[in-house]
């Protein structure tokens, strides 16, 4: 590993909820929960004000409403989140050519490769400046971890939350990791954690004490070797600038099971269209079309068809998805549908319709049962299904030709409540309108307003060192 803490991990604080608070002046300092609002929705992000009541990500939305009945519950607006993420990632790429995004709100940066840090002092100053710059251009806060490896930088950023900076000095890693629970280490999820607990292993120190041979016996060769190395604080993984996408997919979870076979077919075609749009936006094409169906009993089926060449043609993808659906029994109802494309390439094959038909017989099937519980994902990183006309979702952007820009607080019984305000206005006035008001229409999110320089003073931000 390195001799200086020059790998940085940035994790934006309660990103979706913080973006909503910055966008909606009336919600600043208040409990905000973002996620799927239907009966089967789950929490994507909760603001720190909501977390005080016990609300957290992946929690069923119904449970969150019981814990925090007075919080604001909003649908996600991924267009806004992507726009803010692009600003943040631009700041990171100004520091180094080696930036590894993990999601919209999280990334690793190799500061040494950018020549901006070579020891603890220069790394810390870079982290302080970065946090100030993020506040300045977005109005949001992020937590920064600095260490000699990716694993430790991520642990440091977790300790820095919220709105802080923590440095883990090289040579102190073993003492820091030892008393931590096994779930701290990457790759140790609930199943692996339970398996280790049954073997009497609950801390990182106990992983190291068990020895490599015992871990291999418990977890298998690859996982055992990797986990033992991490327990000893060994992590040589480099920061990778471009993470190659393996597939492009979209999916929707439905509030009520779909029983109508025709409706299922229509949804699959719509998802195929959305999938192709994402494929083209990324400048990619793919050879394998995948259909995912989660049925009423939580069993999940996947069907795939491999074409003779890559495609980004919506007609080809829709045709293949329809053929795959023909092989799936949807009797009893469908709760989730998804369409994806894998085997990605940066070019397309000529004669797409012909090669799609020739490949119709080359269909690989996979069927498996999933645990009988609602998955911790009520939304996907894509726009929700198009709502019927005059159905307004809480948090949705709207514009009224008389009152201006606003957002939906709630709707029902033929009425919609809208708060008219913008990111740079004072808290706005609430008005109740008819859901079919001809002067009210959906709108795009307004960009967040950068803070004035005096509002982004890094001297006021907490920071720390783990030694």
Kindly report, residue by residue over 219-240, the tens digit of the pLDDT. 888 888 989 999 999 999 999 9
- In percent, the amount of the chain with pLDDT more than 70 equals 86
The residue from 347, 368, 389 where one domain ends is 368
Q: What is the mean predicted confidence (pLDDT) over 243-267?
A: 87
Give the CATH number, domain containing residue 352.
3.30.1490.100
**Is residue 20 scored above 60 in pLDDT?**
yes
CB 126 within 8 A of CB 95: yes
Residues assigned a catalytic role: 106
Query: Is the Cβ–Cβ distance between 433 and 400 less than 8 Å?
Result: yes
If asked whether residues 153 and 188 sit together in one domain, one would say no
* 0.85 surpassed by pTM: no
Per-residue b/e over 168-179, b at no fewer than 16 CB within 10 Å? bbbebbeebbbe
- Total Cβ atoms within 10 A of residue 465: 15
Residue of 388, 411, 407 lying closest to 397 (CA atoms): 407
- Mean pLDDT, the chain, whole residue set: 86
How many angstroms separate the Cα of 399 from the Cα of each of 154, 406, 407, 420, 444?
41, 6, 8, 9, 9
Same domain, 154 and 179: no
Is residue 269 classed exposed, middle or buried when 0-12, 13-18 and 19+ CB atoms within 10 A define those classes? Answer: middle
Mean pLDDT for the stretch of residues 303-332: 90
Q: For residues 43 and 35, what is the distance between their CA atoms, to the nearest angstrom? A: 5
Average pLDDT over residues 293-316: 88
Over range 177-182, report the average pLDDT: 93
Q: Are 73 and 30 in contact (CB under 8 A)?
A: no
What local confidence, expressed as pLDDT, does residue 80 receive? Answer: 93
pLDDT tier for residue 186 given thresholds of 50, 70 and 90: confident
Domain end call among 368, 388, 418 = 368
pLDDT in tens, 129-167: 999 999 999 999 999 999 999 999 999 999 999 999 999
What is the domain count for the chain?
A: 3
Same domain, 141 and 181: no
Question: Within a domain: residue 380?
Answer: no
Question: Could you report the per-residue pLDDT of 405-457, keeping only the tens digit for each?
Answer: 999 999 988 999 999 999 999 999 999 999 999 999 999 999 997 765 544 44
* The domain boundary residue, chosen from 341, 368, 395: 368
The per-residue pLDDT for range 191-219, each reduced to its tens digit, is 888 889 999 999 999 999 999 999 999 88
Has residue 133 been placed in a domain? yes
Look up the CATH number of the domain holding residue 41: 3.30.70.270
Say if residue 28 is in the same domain as residue 150: yes
Per-residue model confidence as pLDDT tens digits over 352-395: 343 334 333 333 333 333 333 333 333 344 444 444 456 799 99
Range of the domain at 210: 175-231
Contact 283, 238 (CB under 8 A): no
Q: What's the confidence (pLDDT) of residue 383?
A: 42
The reply to whether 249 falls in a domain is no
Q: Are residues 84 and 165 in the same domain?
A: yes
Please check whether residue 244 lies inside any domain of the structure: no
In tens, the pLDDT along 57-113 reads: 989 999 999 999 999 999 999 889 999 999 999 999 999 999 999 888 999 999 999
Q: Which residues pair with 311 in a beta bridge?
A: 286
Among left, alpha and beta (phi > 0; psi -120 to 50; other), residue 196 is: alpha
Per-residue pLDDT of 396-414, as tens digits, reads: 999 999 999 999 999 988 9
Q: For residues 363 and 453, state if they share a domain.
A: no
Q: With 70 as the cut, is the pLDDT of residue 181 above it? A: yes
Q: Check which CATH number belongs to the domain holding 211 and give it.
A: 1.10.150.20
Q: Are 131 and 165 in contact (CB under 8 A)?
A: yes
Cα–Cα distance between 299 and 328 in angstroms, integer? 12
pLDDT of residue 12: 97
Instruction: Indicate whether 153 and 111 sit together in one domain.
Output: yes
Same-domain pairing of 45 and 104: yes
Q: Note whether 344 and 246 are within 8 A (CB).
A: yes
Residue 318 has pLDDT above 70, yes or no: yes
Asked if 6 and 118 sit in the same domain, the reply is yes
- 225, part of any domain: yes
Same domain? 158 vs 184? no
Residues 40 and 155 placed together within one structural domain of the fold:
yes
Output phi, psi for 336, to 5 deg. -150, 140
Same domain? For 137 and 194 the reply is no
186 domain residue, yes or no = yes
Residue 316 lies in a domain: yes
The answer to whether residue 334 is domain-embedded is: yes
Per the CB < 8 A criterion, the answer to whether 156 and 167 are in contact is yes
Structure tokens belonging to residue 199 = 């073997």
């Amino acid at each position: 590993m390195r001799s200086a803490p020059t790998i940085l991990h940035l994790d934006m604080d309660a990103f979706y909820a913080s973006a909503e608070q910055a966008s909606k002046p009336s919600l600043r300092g208040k409990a905000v929960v973002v996620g799927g609002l239907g009966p089967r929705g789950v929490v994507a992000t909760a603001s720190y004000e909501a977390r005080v009541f016990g609300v957290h990500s992946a929690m069923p939305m119904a449970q969150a409403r019981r814990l925090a009945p007075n919080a604001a519950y909003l649908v996600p607006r991924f267009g806004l989140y992507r726009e803010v993420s692009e600003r943040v990632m631009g700041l990171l790429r100004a520091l180094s050519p080696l930036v590894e995004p993990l999601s919209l709100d999280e990334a690793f940066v190799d500061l040494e490769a950018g020549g901006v840090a070579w020891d603890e002092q220069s790394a810390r100053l870079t982290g302080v400046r970065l946090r100030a710059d993020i506040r300045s251009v977005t109005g949001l806060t992020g937590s920064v971890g600095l260490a000699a490896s990716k694993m430790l930088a991520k642990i440091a950023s977790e300790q820095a939350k919220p709105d802080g900076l923590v440095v883990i000095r090289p040579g102190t890693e073993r003492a820091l990791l030892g008393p931590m629970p096994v779930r701290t280490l990457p790759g140790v999820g609930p199943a692996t954690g339970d398996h280790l607990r049954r073997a009497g292993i609950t801390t990182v120190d106990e992983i190291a004490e068990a020895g490599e041979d015992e871990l291999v016996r418990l977890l298998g060769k690859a996982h055992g070797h990797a986990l033992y190395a991490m327990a000893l604080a060994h992590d040589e993984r480099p920061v990778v600038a471009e993470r190659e996408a393996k597939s492009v997919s979209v999916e929707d979870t439905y509030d009520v099971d779909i029983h109508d076979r025709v409706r299922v077919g229509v949804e699959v075609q719509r998802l195929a269209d959305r999938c192709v749009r994402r494929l083209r936006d990324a400048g990619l094409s793919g050879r394998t079309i995948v259909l995912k169906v989660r049925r009423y009993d939580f069993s999940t089926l996947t069907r795939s068809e491999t074409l003779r060449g890559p495609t980004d043609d919506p007609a080809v993808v829709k045709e293949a998805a329809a053929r795959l659906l023909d092989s799936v029994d949807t009797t009893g109802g469908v709760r989730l549908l998804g369409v994806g494309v894998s085997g990605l390439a940066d070019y397309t094959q000529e004669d797409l319709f012909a090669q799609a038909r020739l490949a119709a017989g080359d269909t690989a099937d996979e069927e498996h049962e999933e645990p009988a519980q609602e998955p911790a994902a009520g939304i996907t990183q894509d726009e929700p299904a198009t709502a019927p006309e005059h159905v307004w979702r809480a948090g949705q952007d709207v514009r009224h030709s008389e009152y201006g820009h606003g957002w939906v607080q709630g709707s029902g019984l033929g009425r919609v409540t809208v708060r008219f305000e913008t990111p740079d206005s004072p808290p706005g006035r609430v008005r109740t309108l008819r859901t079919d008001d001809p002067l009210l229409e959906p709108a795009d999110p307004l960009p967040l307003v950068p803070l004035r320089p005096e509002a982004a003073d890094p001297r006021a931000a907490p920071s720390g060192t783990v030694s």
